[in-house]
Homo-oligomer: A and B are copies of this chain.
């Protein structure tokens, strides 16, 4: 075990070379493979099983997001650090959704890349300061779940519904008419824009409406 094995994926050889130098100057880090495309990245990953994969978002062919998903599908534990020029929180969110553990923009000082690699190799996360700031701002201004337009009663009924209770039982538990609960059900779907009961369940989950006792029965 001589340090962390790193896979470098970037379609620009010059950039790759520069960062390979930077990385290999660090004791404990070594580049074990390089790739230019999403397909190559996947191949190289399977061959080398690196500890950390550093990956650019804009790859020819399938694209960086696809590469992340593909690799993560093969190895759920893959530690992928996105290192890219896209200075956009939206991109970062997509990357994290695809399974990346870190997102560093190329405008960051080299030391930040090194720190990120080390953080990720230990199972942590890492985000560029600029992206983090943007995300934080978005959180603060735009803390809008599709569910917070709901009244207390509506939220209560949604919780029971999402937990798997039948409409009738909810009505009984709340001393309401069956019709009322049905109307709430409809109202909730209208307000949230859910077109499906299952959709509604997911909203309730992601809004944290359910306690730890989610699985019914």
Q: Indicate whether A198 sits within 8 Å of B163 (C-beta atoms), given known contacts A206-B215, A215-B206.
A: yes
Q: Is A201 located at the chain interface by the 8 A CB criterion?
A: yes
What is the bound-complex CA distance between A5 and B98, given in angstroms? 34
Enumerate chain B residues within 8 angstroms of A161, measured Cβ to Cβ.
196, 198
B212 touches A165 (CB 8 A): no
Bound Cα distance A212, B98 (Å): 9
Secondary structure class of chain A's binding surface, majority of residues: loop
Contact of A164 among B165, B166, B202, B214 (CB under 8 A): B202
CB interface residues, A 163-217, toward B, < 8 Å: 163-166, 194-202, 206, 212, 214-217
A41 on the B face (CB < 8 A): no
Q: Does A99 contact B (CB under 8 A)?
A: yes
Taking a contact as CB atoms under 8 Å apart, the answer to whether B196 and A165 are in contact is: yes
Question: Most B CB atoms within 10 A — which of A166, A194, A201, A217?
Answer: A201
CB distance from A167 to the nearest CB of B (A): 8
Indicate if A162 sits at the interface (CB-CB under 8 A): yes
Could you say which residues of chain B place their CB within 8 Å of the CB of A215? 202, 206
A202–B214 CA distance with the chains assembled, in angstroms: 8
A67 to chain B, nearest CB (A): 16
Alpha-carbon separation in the docked complex, A161 to B202 (Å): 12
Q: How far is the CB of A216 from chain B (nearest CB, A)?
A: 5
Q: Which residues of B contact A217 (CB under 8 A)?
A: 199
Bound-complex Cα distance A165 to B196 (A): 7
- For A210, the closest partner residue in chain B by CB is B202
The 9 listed contacts between A and B (C-beta, < 8 Å) are A99-B212, A166-B195, A197-B197, A198-B198, A199-B216, A201-B201, A202-B215, A202-B216, A206-B215
Interface, chain A (partner B; CB < 8 A) = 99, 161-166, 194-202, 206, 212, 214-217
* Nearest 4 interchain pairs by C-beta: A164-B199, A197-B197, A201-B201, A164-B198
> 12 new A-B pairs (CB below 8 Å) besides A164-B198, A166-B196, A198-B198?
A161-B196, A162-B198, A163-B198, A164-B194, A164-B195, A164-B199, A165-B196, A166-B195, A197-B197, A198-B201, A201-B202, A206-B215
